[in-house]
Amino acid sequence: MKKFAFGMLLAALATPVLASGTHEGGHDKKMAIGEPGEKAKVTQTINITMKETDDGKMLFTPASIKVRKGQTVRLSIKNVGELDHEFVLDGEDEIMEHKALMEKFPEMEHDDPNAIRLTAGKSGEIVWKFTNGGTFKFACLVPGHYDAGMHGDVTVAKK
């Protein structure tokens, strides 16, 4: 009976982590960087590659993106590396919060319109409407990847 009670206690403690699903803030929170875009309204496609280098660096190419406020963009992302990588688009504070959470829960699953995780050799896309001007970030938040250089800037010009 003690083993059963201990097992139930462990299951109860694990439940909040499993139930939380994605990072804090959820999908209901309005994002400063914008909102999911409509494919029919895309005005530009930006090709982005993700990879690691022989000397241990991890990077996105290009390392910075410039768009206009109100523009809907297709971010066509390809993992040309040998490891899993992700592309997360958000404000700098939110990126750093998400990074800390990923360090605690590295196997956390995502279902966010501003993020995509790709295994080696795979491609995907994010269609995004940039609704506010300013400087934002994109990053790979797999533990250790950000610190190895896998992040960049998004500049959204006011028009």
Taking only the tens place, the pLDDT of each residue in 25-79 is 444 457 899 999 999 999 999 999 999 999 999 999 999 999 999 999 999 999 9
Amino acid 111: pLDDT: 81
For the CA atoms of 103, 108, 112, 114, the dihedral, rounded to the nearest 10 degrees, stands at 30
CA–CA separation, 138 and 115 (whole Å): 9
Residue 133, both tokens: 């001007």
Which residue segments constitute the domains of the chain, with CATH numbers given?
33-157 (2.60.40.420)
Tell me the C-alpha to C-alpha distance, in Å, between residue 137 and each of 13, 60, 65, 68, 153: 33, 12, 9, 15, 5
